[in-house]
Chains A and B, each alone.
Chain A
Amino acid sequence: MLTAAADQAVVVRDLRKSYGASEAVRGISFSVGRGQTVALLGGNGAGKTTTLSMLLGVLTPSSGSIELLGLPLAQHRYDILPRINFTSPYVDLPKRLSVVENLRVFAGLYGVDDARQRIAELIAELDLTEVADRPYANLSAGQRTRVSLAKSLLNSPELLLLDEPTASLDPDVGDRMRSLLERFRAQSGCAMLLASHNMAEVERLCDEVIMLRRGEIVDHGSPAVLLAKYGRSSLDDVFLDISRAEPA
């Protein structure tokens, strides 16, 4: 699963995170190629969010190494952060600021050139025109998710980390978001690493799936390969097989 670092957006080697005696992530290694979309799948406590947090630099690994866009994260955090972005329904934006104000602030933080035009593009693309001047607090959960996604695309990232990107969206809006992500990847060559519980989404978006259980990678492969390997017709069933299996 590990390949040469030069053409990789993410290279993780023997990554571990312990809290006292409890090990949340137990020596995982994987890579994500540039332009590739990879899913981290696993039940609650499998280590998905812990892994994403370490990749974002907001959680210090106990050991192991992370390289993003060819640079070691520990030494080059501030060279890497302007080139990546992140969205999660569990991290909010300032509630009393309007959609446009929020996007202006983050455009400033990410040093986006021609921020006005970029914000206008994203607002149109994510169907936020009607709520652009509305405070974030007054938006529905689905609208908030779209604003958060707009924030994550502001800097045209080379690597996008997505934590359940379409959670709380209705099927129509969820489908449009997935189309947007596909288009963005095709246009920009952005690599994506997403944690999701939506297997249809994973099947549609991802080139590769990494299955986590109790902080370890228990299997990986393309959705088609995993379906064939487990003799199942949907990733939901593969997920259940893996997450309910007794550890070896």
Chain B
Amino acid sequence: MRPGPIDVEPLPKAPPEELRRAQEQRLMAAWETPKGLRYWSAVNNTQVGLWYSGLAFLFLLFGGVLALVMRVQLAVPGNDLLTAQQYNQFFTMHGTVMMFLFAVPIFEAFSILILPQLLGARDLPFPRLSAYGFWSFAIGGVFVCGSLFFGAAPAGGWFMYPPLTTAFQKGVGADIWLLGLSFIEVASIAAAVELIVGVLKTRPPGMRVNLIPLYAWYVLVVAVMILFAFPPLIAGDLLFELERTLHWPFFDAARGGDPLLWQHLFWIFGHPEVYIIFLPSIALMAMIVPTFAQRPLVGYGWIILSAVGTGFLSFGLWVHHMYATGLPGVSLGLFSAATEAVALPTGVQIFCFLATMLAGRVVRSVPLLFAFAGLFTFVIGGFTGVMVGLVPFDVQAHDTYFVVGHLHYVLIGGALFPVVAGLYYYWPIVRGRKLSDRLGRVAFWLMIVGFQVTFLPMHLTGLLGMPRRVFTYLPGLGFDRLNFVSSIGAFVLAAGIAVVVFDVVRPKRGEARCARNPWNAGTLEWLAEMPPDKPWGVRSIPEIDSRYPLWHQPNFLRDVDEGRFYLPDAEEGKRETLITTPVDARPVQCLRVPGNTFVAFWAAVFTGGVFIFATFHWWVATLASGVLAFVTILAWLWTGTAVVPEKPEKDVGLGLTLPLYQSGPRSVGWWALFITMIGDMTAFFSLVFGYFFYWTVHEEFPPKSATGPGVFWPALALALLAAAWLLTQLARGFNRRDRYVEYYGALVAGAVLAASGGAALVAAPLRTGLDPTAHVYPAIVWVLVVWTVAHVALGLVMQLYCAARRLAGRVSAVHDIDVANTALYWHFLAITFVTTIAVVAGFPLLA
């Protein structure tokens, strides 16, 4: 199929008034938000994005209250408002909530809300996945926060270092952290997949890569970063939980483990995380600054340099959190070099903003004030970052309040202030009214002053030697006055946030609704109609010729509203959006996106059950919840994905006819699976990294006493699994040529081979007597085997699913999304089992 044209000139005339009304009614019917209890079955990005953002803000307030209580505790020496145990739980939860339940989710939430608007799309390609992510986040977040009220909260700091948390904290706190957050991390990865496919495949026709709004560039970079940063933590969580529950000694030095492995895995996640938080906030500024400078952003190419460059370099910084652990000087040097290098791209984007302001005519506004507050604060945090990036300085400042001061400058300057700027800027799109200018200014002054008063003294407190994470201190050490000032500042900052909250929740009935595009911005999200009561997104999907279409494309708003562009109608009453090519955004498919459902909600409830019940070792309930989750997700896939359309193609307007069904690399599902599997590979290779990490820390690895896994069983497993892989690939060809017997035969035989291969792989450590609790060597071999076998089991389910789909008439020679995706999954599975077998069976032969 040839991609459609992207420059249609001239546009057709507007359809007659009567037809336009009828089109609008049909669009409304297709996209209507459900009422009553069914409201919560909504999956449309406008609803899910709103709930997601709102909940993330609630968690922000919760984390803020924890901070205030801590500041009261520290206001005077020897205070006894909190016990040491309570204080441990408070600072752990404060860090955890702010990082995992506010900073990362707010980006995803906000992007789900705004990205389709920004791309002139009706919705993202997988709305139900977004809803699933939201419900997972809500359940996991409430579970983790709730633990505080039962005195059961984690107390090991937000980075949960073992052996403190494995050997010395007996309660369920650490398990709540590990399992609750793993669950939320899965939701984050789901959102990342959605956003990557969204940016690459749902852009409006003609939005070539050189015309993409900068926010979307940042979303792309950040989502890719999530894909590589979160899986190492998931792998770490797996090892950690296996140690806590089954006593596999990954971090227990007495049995050959090493707590430093956790630090590596945590910070391979943890440092990019800072940029995962920071870049979206900078992205907001890249939207706000041009609007209030009333000109295009200066240095579009430089911003791409910043976004992509920071994204990469941020993965070379993690050891700067570990300078004090005694690694060789050369390792520290490499990470210090990268830490200093990342300041370059980070600084470049700030200069771009300043240049834009200088070159434009600046309109004063509350969003801009908060953007400035963010830049100012972040730059100071960046400078102290350059300081602590240097090993000799860091060794002095490590674990003191200097670091607390530094990180709050970075995170509040780099995330909170810009998010408030974004809140004031985008509120009209959400509610059709601006927030108060006056209250905004009051909030700005309270927050910026309160912030500096709180955190600037902390640098001094730290340099004077006050350690982090102590629940109190003795008088007369020079900390008293500085701490008191910080505590006062914290309440001023909190007052500022309270003003923002008041501004948001206060009734605004009497106030004027704002006009369309109230800030006179140039980008597509401001096509939003006022009041915002049109759930369809855009009236017709426009064709883009410029970076700021609302400024530079004549009659743009009128043409969109009159339905002169693509998909002005929903003739079949279905939800539809356009899929375009990644480089030039040529339309290639009209995608039917699924509608409202509770299935995503139930899938999240049951998946959440698995994690929550496992925390308390209620294994029967865990198993039952797992089975229910499996059945629910299967039902979701069966009824809601790869649906065969009633006709092969449809007229999308402007003389263009597009197919309704695409499979293989042309389908969004294939892309999503590909991207998900890259995340999966990252987690897997984090475990492989663990194996070689243990090799470097041990004189003998595998230890001389090791009895397995030998060569016979792994080699047998390799042969069987390779055959299963081959048959799965052949099945795709058989399906295309309608060779039924061979198709079913290949899938069923493939499933049998997969099952036998998995069994042979388990037999390897089992038959050679590797006891995973005895030493870290058998433990790491077992974990690689278990990981691989779990993936084989999933591959087997997919093989049988494909056979069943064809039997049910939901797969045919042309409609083969499921088969193509299964074939793709098996390619990744092949990488997994070949690597596992090469490592566990092959490496001992070399070592």
Whether A and B are associated in the same complex: the answer reads no
Using a CB–CB cutoff of 8 Å, the interface residues on chain A facing chain B are none
Using a CB–CB cutoff of 8 Å, the interface residues on chain B facing chain A are none
